[in-house]
Chain A
Amino acid sequence: MPWDEGLVNSLIYDQPDPKEGRVISYTAAVNEALALALEHDESVFVLGQGVDDPSAMFGATRGLHGRFGRTRVFDTPLSEESMMGVSAGAAMNGMRPVFMHNRPDFVLLAFNQLVTHAAKFHFMDNGQTNVPMVVWAAIGRGWGSGAQHSQAIHGMLLGVPGLKIVMPSTPYDAKGLLLSAILDNNPVCVFEHRWLMKKDGIVPEGVYRVPIGKGIYRRHGQDVTIVGASHAIELGLQAAKQLADEGIEADVIDLRTVKPIDEHIILESLARTGRIVVVDTAWMTGGLCAEVGCLAAEKGFAHLKAPVCRVGLPDVPTPAGYTLEQFYYPDASRIAAAARTLVRTGVAQPTAAR
């Protein structure tokens, strides 16, 4: 097995108990959401580079073109900007496109249509036009993905009114949030993480929805709040376990949606713990870390017993080699170290590596 797949397979995830429900993989959950949406709503169609090829978008789209036909599940030219606009135009005229990308990096080619068109029309047309579309992409990490294949771009999009952004962390959420995104009447970005794709989880059959805009507690504690989304939650939970062994109990909040953000759950937790560590799969500067940090300072100042602490990527492009990467990405022990220092000394160690 090549070392890349081996790496994903070797990630330590808690195995779900099959007695508690049906266990399927993360990609199977995404696939099921797409199939259900295609089955239940004729206006849904799925497009993207390679959605019908043997790799099938990490398996997320496997078999869909065979089952629903190539009119509804189709490959596209390498024309990201135009295809984003085509998706918006179809959405404005009664369709519900799901435009899939291997990586968020490719969505950057389409920012004009996503940011300046799809996100604007409903407001600009005074509510006369809805743009119910989904933009799906999986954040890369490792395997030499480097500066151009591992960007997490949600931070750049937080300041775009009219957009919604969801970032699932479990197979259950991957299915439920994707179904919510497809049924939503707005443009919704669904950013998955490549390292969650082999994760198994309990996923009910049939249609269910995870609400957009609501966070959830993954763990309860009273000493510190660890908040984030997507793969950062996996790391945050591992960090919380390490901390528990030392007698530090953490709240772990999975935001599930990063825009619009669930302010209530963050402030509610902060009121109990007085300390907050914001973790993200992306850069700390101007992104989710900065936004949640600002929220804590602006609306939760009275609760704070220590400074806000951010654990994300330093203001450095992603290196391709694993030799540099080991100093770059936050991991569970770094998150734990940041939380431990915050609780014990009241000092924030803001970055992952330095």
Chain B
Amino acid sequence: MIRYSYSGEGVQGFGKLAQAHAPAFLIELYRSMLRIRRIEEEIERRYHQDQMKTPIHLVIGQEATSVGACAAMRRTDLLYSSHRTHGNYLAKGGDLNGMLCEMHCRANGCAGSRGGSMHLIDKSVGMAGTSAIVGGAVPIATGAALAAKLKNTGDVVMVFLGDATTEEGAASESLNFASLMQVPIVFFCENNFYSVQSPLYTRQPVRDIRTWASGYAMPAVTVDGMNVLAVYDATTRAVERARAGGGPSFIEAPVYRFRAHGGAGDDSKTGYRDLAECAAWEPYDPITMFGAHLRETGRLTDAAVEAMESEIADEIAASFTFALESANPTEADLYTHVYAD
């Protein structure tokens, strides 16, 4: 049974949206999504070699939300995220070496082997932090937005959350406070319909998730999460609104997680979701769809894609080699940074 269907416009959805953008920008969005996909696939391929002794939460199928939303942010804008953080981190500009070293538990990982794959951080590009507790980053991000407002930095904060986060009390509390204080924040909900293996209908009454947010007196929209341009446009509006002092916004983007909640591969065969459901979403893969549009409109050629693939493959191979050759932390490293000076 197909419980959750794609409700967007498919490839047709790019038509009007693409006209507003320069080709180079569109190609860059495509490349960014493709790069995340290939990185995730390589992590997945190597995972059973047991060199990466860290949980993984792959974003295969959810690249458009990361890339579209981060493209609407400035480098100095702050991003907070959850356990499913690879795509968010990479789209915000997080360093690939730092990420793969962290996943290999090396001393030079982006969190010095203290965070693992769920705590990717790169403050140089505004990837400010994550929480592996569902909903944990939402109050933190709201506090960061309060700081931005109090210090008048002009920065906007965005926090990625999942559908299940909207069930956490702290998320409701945070939306209430963000709206009360009119802080510059965008709550970006990637609704992939499943919390681990629990479908949305066993956890929430049937209604649009945006109505939960709009109850806190903030603009709340639903956009096609498989369409990178729809995501970019909605996020741009929300970010600009926040930067202009207009307060918080909420964006819900339905997406499909083509892999298991955690680990390599898909676990749909365990029966929690129908294989037919996964198959029904496949044509709407965000990279396939956007690639088809760019080719149809003559903006992307096979040769260009080949060149991209080759560059990306080289970068990934070099980065894995770098991680594997990097030094492990020592016992003395364990006792540093327990307290700040």
Contacts and interface: CB of A to CB of B under 8 A. Distances in A.
B129 A129 contact: yes
A124 B336 CA distance: 11
Given A121-B129, A164-B339, A186-B340, A88 B173 contact: no
Interface string B129-166: 10101001011111111111011000000000000000
Interface stretch (A90-98, A203-211, A261-269, A326-334): A90-98
B177 interface: yes
Contact of A86 (B78, B174, B341): B174
B170 interface: yes
Interface in A220-251: none
A89 B142 contact: yes
B128 interface: yes
Contact of A77 (B129, B140, B177): B177
B147 A81 contact: no
Given A95-B147, A126-B115, A82 B142 contact: yes
A79 B176 CA distance: 9
Contact of A117 (B128, B133, B144): B133
A82 to B, nearest CB: 3
A94 B143 contact: no
B111 interface: yes
B129 A82 contact: no
Contacts of A84: 139
Interface in A64-110: 71-72, 76-77, 79, 81-95, 97
A85 B143 contact: yes
Interface string B105-133: 00000011011000101010000110101
A72 B340 CA distance: 25
Contacts of A113: 136, 139-140, 170
Given A86-B174, A93-B147, A81 B139 contact: yes
B99 to A, nearest CB: 14
B115 A112 contact: no
B337 interface: yes
Interface string A147-179: 000000000000001101000000000000000
Contact of B339 (A79, A112, A121, A122): A122
Contacts of A86: 139-140, 142-143, 146, 174, 177
A76 B133 CA distance: 24
A93 B141 CA distance: 10
A18 interface: no
B168 to A, nearest CB: 9
Given A86-B143, A92-B143, A121-B129, A81 B337 contact: no
B173 A82 contact: yes
Nearest to B183: A86
Contacts of A49: none
A130 B337 CA distance: 10
Contacts of A136: none
A124 B115 contact: yes
A90 B150 contact: yes
Contact of A81 (B146, B170, B176): B170
A298 interface: no
Contacts of B173: 77, 79, 81-83
Interface string B319-341: 00000000000000000111111
> What band does the interface of chain B fall in when counting residues whose beta carbon is under 8 Å from A?
35 or more
A128 B123 contact: yes
Nearest to A95: B147
Contact of B340 (A89, A94, A95, A122): A122
Contacts of A83: 139, 173, 177
A97 to B, nearest CB: 8
B170 A89 contact: no
A185 B341 contact: yes
A116 B132 CA distance: 10
Nearest to B334: A123
B169 interface: yes
B164 to A, nearest CB: 15
Nearest to A132: B340
A76 B177 contact: yes
B146 to A, nearest CB: 5
Nearest to A126: B112
B95 to A, nearest CB: 13
A161 B111 CA distance: 18
A185 B143 contact: no
A315 interface: no
B318 interface: no
A185 B141 CA distance: 19
A88 B119 CA distance: 16
Contacts of A26: none
Contacts of A91: 143
A122 B338 CA distance: 7
B276 interface: no
A87 B177 CA distance: 12
A93 to B, nearest CB: 4
Nearest to B180: A77
Contacts of A76: 177
Given A81-B169, A89-B142, A94 B339 contact: no
A91, A93, A122, A127 interface centre (most CB from chain B within 10 Å) = A93
A77 B147 CA distance: 18
Which 7 residue pairs spanning A and B have beta carbons closest together? Answer: A89-B143, A85-B139, A82-B173, A126-B112, A79-B173, A127-B337, A86-B143
Interface of A: 43, 45, 71-72, 76-77, 79, 81-95, 97, 112-113, 116-117, 121-132, 161-162, 164, 185-186
23 contacts: A77-B173, A77-B176, A79-B176, A82-B170, A87-B143, A88-B143, A89-B142, A89-B144, A91-B143, A92-B128, A93-B144, A113-B139, A116-B133, A117-B131, A126-B111, A127-B112, A128-B121, A129-B129, A162-B339, A164-B339, A185-B339, A185-B340, A186-B340
